[in-house]
Structure 1
């Protein structure tokens, strides 16, 4: 079955990263119908670059979405997915602007999606669950070829039930927005990401919401590089006056997410205590710890589920025949550890 695939990249004031990400997307071995670039009100020259790209690019149709204000990654992806969905995409390929995809990353995702659709391994207890994948995500590495610590998909408890040594698929119930191919049918079922998260956890919540209705998988031979300065996960011991705003969103969102689950209030409270302990161990100033504490407590009253929006009926569908073969030289980053 031929499907229309649209890429969505969200960016904010990271022009140098964006250029590499766009170059990699334009050089994919699997043809796209369109590339949607969501600009979160950048001020670093990104708008000019996108304007020229939209006007002059000859590889794929470019559609630039200029946000009226910076709505963070959560708002940007919600808007980008909405745009792709309303324009009729069957599959929506999501990534941050610091994601650099190997030239066959998308091809591997689509092949995996098709293979799983033809014969998706589900247990007898899941006969009421969709047997078409809700999403398939890439194997995210760091610049040296090692696994990227902040982008490890969360495998299901019974992942080995569906694993075959000869196939590069592992079932997961959560993933990041660093290269994930989302089924538009799943979007119609569960809605869009929660804009109000702003940053952090929007991807985990959204992919988890999909996985509750449609199975998700990581495609191990679909490789991308997350071009971040350090290969570390989120650690509250690193809170500083400069970055505390991110951690405030992070703990609020995590607490809200945990508290919304069965018996989650206790887990959420333990999470707050754990993060405060991390900050205490690294001697984060008390004023910053107080900010994190109050942000965490606010998560108990942050009812994000009421903010989930479902899409309206689609009025158009992309013509897969409009796809054009890439005209640029295939771009394949080769981190030192993966040559």
Structure 2
């Protein structure tokens, strides 16, 4: 569905900050979570709720959350999971809790950012027009972080050189998503369902943003609302940066191509040849990352293992996408 064929967004009432839930996923990074929660305590206006999903941390995360509860100035819901479900499982659970709280808007973020004090007001001004919104963020060094907001749909890969500049409108349409700052309305969540925990990590937010963009006009806006608080090793290519990775990321970035394929099939968007090219380009990019950023060739086995395990997922004819929440509610009645 293209933008011109989508129905216009419904008329909105005045934005109410109390209708927002910030959903945070954390795992063994209490020092970073501390900074994020302290920044929420300084927000004006504040959200109605803050949900912290703890992916079975073994550090002092629980103690930190309880110590900072009163400083937030808003209701805090803390859920410590029994096992580490990855970012995918954490955000799925965080959105589920936010949805069940009755939140109109859900603002997702990792624990390695802090919120600009008036960030909620900056996001709120766009809510009368859009239902899927991505704000901008500063990188660790204070520079503007460039996020790849467009994907080449047939290949299911980000377009690394999509224009970074904004025109006078202050927004650009996107067909992707990033859980580090995704701001989404419950109507969209109801229709496309919760984020898919089966991804564990990687490609989950791109897929979720793509699904949202198929039913609403999704945008990235020229408002800085977050600041990254963790320094990541990078290689500077002059125009763009490439971040360091890990063996886990290498495995899941290749394995989860199979989940993208399954979602594309379910939505009638799968084209075998372009998608295969996208997978090959993804593999090439990860090999370049190993050599230029990690300065090693070790790690290739994790890429190969991810491709191998992905073939099993792609061949599973019983696989189904996450259901709309409306369907889930009806089936439970």
Per mean C-alpha deviation after superposition, the further-off stretch among 269-278 and 92-101 is: 269-278
Q: How does 1:1-339 map to 2 (within 5 A)?
A: 1-2=13-14, 3=16, 4-54=19-69, 56-57=70-71, 59-114=73-128, 116=129, 133-149=130-146, 151-154=147-150, 165=168, 167-230=169-232, 232=234, 243-254=246-257, 256-257=259-260, 260=264, 261-263=270-272, 264-276=275-287, 279=290, 284-285=296-297, 288-303=299-314, 306-311=320-325, 312-313=328-329
The CA deviation at 1:134 is 3.2
Q: How far apart, in 1, do the equivalents of 2:97 and 2:35 lie?
A: 23
Partner of 1:228, secondary structure, is coil
Give the unaligned 5+ runs of structure 1.
Answer: 117-132, 315-339
Task: Give the CA deviation at 1:249.
Answer: 1.1
Tell me: CA distance 1:226–1:58, structure 2 relative to 1, closer, same or farther (3 Å): closer
| Deviation for aligned residue 1:88 | 0.7
- Cα pair distance change 1:278/1:68, threshold 3 Å: closer
Measure, in 2, the Cα distance between the counterparts of 1:74 and 1:108: 26
Aligned position for 1:337: none
State the Cα RMSD in Å.
Answer: 2.9
Q: State the Cα distance separating 1:235 from its structure 2 match.
A: 5.5
- Separation in 1, partners of 2:283, 2:167: 39
Task: Give the drift of 1:247.
Answer: 1.4
Following superposition, the deviation at residue 71 of structure 1 comes to 0.5
1:69-128 CA-to-partner distances (Å, cap 9, x unmatched) read 1111110000000011111100001110011111111111111122x2xxxxxxxxxxxx
Distance between the aligned counterparts of 2:187 and 2:233, measured in 1? 34
- Cα contact 1:178–1:226 (8 A) shared by 2: no
Taking a change above 3 Å as real, the CA distance of residues 223 and 57 of structure 1, as seen in their structure-2 partners, is closer
Moved more, 75-84 or 1-10: 1-10
Deviations 1:246-283 (CA, angstroms, capped at 9, x unpaired)? 21112212454257432313432443355346546777
CA positional deviation for 1:245? 1.9
Name which of structure 1's ranges 138-147 and 256-265 shifts more when overlaid on structure 2: 256-265
Larger relative contact order (Cα-Cα within 8 Å, sequence gap ≥ 6): 1
Structure 1 residue 48: Cα displacement: 1.4
3-state DSSP of counterpart to 1:19: helix
Displacement of 1:195 in angstroms is 0.3
Q: 1:48 to 1:280 in 2, by over 3 A?
A: closer
Q: Deviations over 1:32-84 (max 9, x none)?
A: 11111111111110011223344x44600111011111111110000000011
Distance 1:156 1:268, change over 3 A: closer
| Conserved 8 A contact 1:248-1:291 | yes
Q: What is residue 324 of structure 1 aligned with on the other side?
A: none
- Aligned partner of 2:156 in structure 1 is none
Q: Give the Cα separation in 2 of the matches to 1:193 and 1:229.
A: 27
Is the 1:258–1:267 contact (alpha carbons within 8 Å) kept by the matching residues of 2? Answer: no
